[in-house]
């Protein structure tokens, strides 16, 4: 085993992480390039670990605002 390899039983297993998390579904949609570039900039600054986390945070914020009455504009 090389110095950068780990035994399989010490690695975090994706399946274990999924079992510990709330159920999720994959959602696919199209977004404007500029918006994705802005999301990528947030990821690059370390605000979010990846695009998915940024989109989940934005979705939670939208749903929360809408459930509180949202913007009547």
Mean pLDDT score, 33-38: 98
10, pLDDT greater than 60: no
pLDDT score at 8: 52
Q: 48, 54 in Cβ contact below 8 A?
A: yes
16, pLDDT greater than 90: no
pLDDT score at 5: 52
User: Taken in order 5, 10, 15, 17, is the CA torsion positive or negative?
Assistant: negative
Domain extents in the chain: 32-73
Q: 25, 31 in Cβ contact below 8 A?
A: no
pLDDT score at 24: 87
What is the separation, in whole angstroms, between the first and last Cα of the chain?
62
Convert the pLDDT of each residue in 37-72 to its tens digit. Answer: 999 999 999 999 999 999 999 999 999 999 998 665
């Amino acid at each position: 085993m090389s110095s950068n390899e780990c035994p399989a039983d010490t690695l975090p297993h994706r399946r274990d992480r999924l079992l510990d998390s709330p159920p999720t579904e994959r959602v696919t949609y199209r977004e404007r390039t500029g918006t994705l570039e802005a999301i990528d900039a947030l990821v690059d600054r370390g605000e979010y670990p990846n695009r998915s986390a940024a989109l989940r945070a934005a979705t939670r914020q939208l749903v929360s605002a809408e459930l509180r009455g949202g913007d009547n504009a």
